[in-house]
Amino acid sequence: MTATKEEIVFEGNGVSSGIAVGIALKLDSHHRVVLKTLVEDSAIEEEARRVLQAIEASKEQLHALKHRLEEKVGPEHGFIFDVHILMLQDKSLIVDILSIIRGQKANAEWAVRLATDRIREAYLSLEDEYFRERVSDIENVVERILLNLSGNQPFHWEPLPQDLIVVARDFNPSIFATMDLEKVRGLALERGGRTSHTAIISRGLRLPAVMEIKEFLASVSTGDTLLLNGDDGQLIVHPCAERINRLRVRLEESRRAGFEPDSAAEGILTAKDGVRIFLQANTELPHEVVAARKFGAEGIGLFRSEFLFFAHPQGFPSMSDQLETYKMLAREMAPHPVAVRTLDAGGDKSWAQPGSAPELNPSMGLRGIRMSLKAKDQFAAQVEAILRASVDGNMEIVLPMVSSVEEVVEAKAVIREVRAGIRLPDSRTPRAVPMGVMIEVPAAVLTVERLAEEADFLCVGTNDLIQYLLAVDRNNPQVAHLFQPLHPSVLQCLVRIAATAGRLGKPARLCGEMSSNPFFAVLFLGMGYDQLSMNPRAIPVIRRVVRSVAVRDARRSRICHCPGNRRVSCARNHPPRTHGSETVPPRAGQRGNPHWRAANTWRIRRICPSWARFTG
């Protein structure tokens, strides 16, 4: 591919490794994409009429909005909409749009996008900051016209070409459920972060992704050639041939990327001192079971079932629809367990019941077990599907977003009632399946003893636990640096959960991004966790780490001094202090603190001599 325009390099945060070259597919704030379609001669004037009607409707809407704003805050603020109205009254813009429709026999949506892209590029070429800032006004006008042209209908992937790089302001992870993964090569987003759900899924799919790219959308149009570098956190628009050739080897390596299965993946996994450790897979999409088996997962520790709902046209799949998926998972992973987390929509996994009003703060709204107990018929349908699938394998139910014992008791009553009403073909009632609870909010940590008494096992959701514990929105780039997995409060919670589970004889499974990190894996072994659930592709590396570590050493030389050892005292940007022959962590979390990391890497190397092989 050769670039005909000047190359532009944008820096961002590489959240999923890999390199890809492809064609930009630009989604607007409604996750729409504008494609060019050929219009028959007989329909050209109808397209022209459509666009003129959409422009008139847009002007009427803006006049109404201006009037309402002036009534509320005064006439001096109405000028905000005047700029948009003037753009819509620009005769040269209208003539340009109509000439594209008639000259290129193009659809109205494409003509609007192409004509306004020309204006946008002209504004960006000016040195005057005032005119450059008007680009956002152009985008707002375009979105309003497109909305009046096509409504809010989702686009279809069938007519799209291969080798696409999706570019957008943000990206709802529910789109993964309908996306044609054979056509998409990467994601480039203005928002998001490493621990966002979209980033987690991208890593699971080995899809290169760069997020937190500042103010790049105005410089990208659908069809532009892009080079996405998830390793270095770069997006290059109109990459030159020399740059592409320079990265050709890495591009080929990226296409073949993926850990090869261990020859030692089969068999029982034990630590160096013989302690039994279980490594399981976190999955979101049904086909990820292939990767789970390939990389030696001993079960699916967490199947995030909300993606079955995102992909369903009616919003809530029937019991039989779900049963088909759960039976497949049970058969593919047998004799290992499959833990299905019941519907947990909210936060960055938005899903709403038909007819429900949008929530101002979905992360703390009607999600998880709260939604299930409100919509009990739908919850019962999902539970029935899981129970029926248990005939084909070892199924488990996991309740998300639990904050009180009463929620667990009420959910157990629903499960018992559903089970009692099921009759299998041989007139049997399905066997009871283990039921676990997610420990992912501070209230669950503080009441973990009572929750463990009601549940068969505990699942620790580190991603949400850190977010709620530290009051940090992990998708907000302004505070993302405060998302600290090794914050003292996080460590104390993890120790408390493991100690409680051990005392009560209940398994504790640690899920979330932290499990995929060799640095953290040794820490968790020292805390007492023997079940880690992670991205399937991280399993081979963590398996080698586990085999190189003696759990007794990890427990005796715990990396962070938590209750029961020494008081946690960390502080960001302070070098490590020494206490005798040992290094004591600084006074804050690990994030952004090379001193802390260096000191504790040395301590891990003492426990795990082959550490360098897993982190280099």
Contact 174, 307 (CB under 8 A): yes
Catalytic entry in 197, 238, 336, 487: 197
Beta bridge partners of 303: 283, 340
Q: Does a cis peptide bond (omega within 30 degrees of 0) precede residue 335?
A: yes
Q: CA 457 to CA 465: how far, in whole Å?
A: 17
Contact 445, 436 (CB under 8 A): no
Nearest alpha-carbon partner for 469 in 426, 525, 512? 512
The conformation of residue 360, written as its DSSP 8-state character, comes to S
Beta bridge partners of 339: 396
Contact 157, 475 (CB under 8 A): no
Say how many C-beta atoms besides its own lie within 10 A of residue 116's C-beta. 20
Six token digits for residue 529: 């966790």
Nearest alpha-carbon partner for 136 in 119, 155, 112? 119
Q: How far is CA 416 from CA 378, 422, 437, 455, in A?
A: 15, 10, 16, 14
DSSP string, 156-173: -STT--SSEEEEES---G
Q: How far is CA 411 from CA 325, 407, 417, in A?
A: 22, 6, 10
Q: CA 234 to CA 12: how far, in whole Å?
A: 6
Contact 326, 397 (CB under 8 A): no
Strands (E), 50-203: 164-168, 184-189
What is the torsion angle, in degrees rounded to the nearest 10, for the CA atoms of residue 40, residue 44, residue 50 and residue 52? 160
Specify the pairing of strand 531-534 against strand 300-304. unpaired
* Residues near 477 by beta carbon (within 8 Å), at least 6 away in sequence: 191, 193, 212
Beta bridge partners of 540: none
Catalytic entry in 493, 511, 562, 608: 511
**Type and span of the H or E element at 385:** helix 376-389
Contact 234, 211 (CB under 8 A): no
Phi, psi of 137, deg, nearest 5: -65, -40
Q: Does a cis peptide bond (omega within 30 degrees of 0) precede residue 161?
A: no
Phi, psi of 117, deg, nearest 5: -65, -35
Catalytic annotation on 511? yes
Catalytic annotation on 287? no
Residues with catalytic roles: 197, 511
